[in-house]
Amino acid sequence: MTDIAVCPGSFDPVTLGHLDVIQRAATRFEQVVVACLRNIGKSPLLEPDERIDLLRAATAHLGNVRTEAFDGLLVDFCRAHGATTIVKGLRAASDFENELKMAQMNAALGDVETLFMATNPRYSYLSSSLVKEVARFHGDIGAFVPEVVSRRLRERGDHGS
61 is catalytic: no
88 is catalytic: no
Residue nearest to ligand PNS (CB): 9
Question: Per rule CB under 6 A, is residue 107 in the interface with ligand PNS?
Answer: no
The catalytic residue among 42, 61, 94, 161 is 42
Contact flags string 15-54 toward ligand PNS, x per CB under 6 A: ----------------------x-----------------
Question: Per rule CB under 6 A, is residue 67 in the interface with ligand PNS?
Answer: no
Quick check: 99 and 118 in contact, CB under 8 A?
Answer: no
Q: Which is nearer to ligand PNS, 90 or 102 (CB)?
A: 102
Q: Which stretch binds ligand PNS (CB under 6 A): 22-30, 43-51, 57-65, 99-107?
A: 99-107
Question: Beta-carbon neighbour count of residue 94 at 10 Å?
Answer: 9
For residue 118, the cross-strand partners are 90
**Contact positions toward ligand PNS, by CB under 6 A?**
8-10, 37, 73-74, 102, 105-106
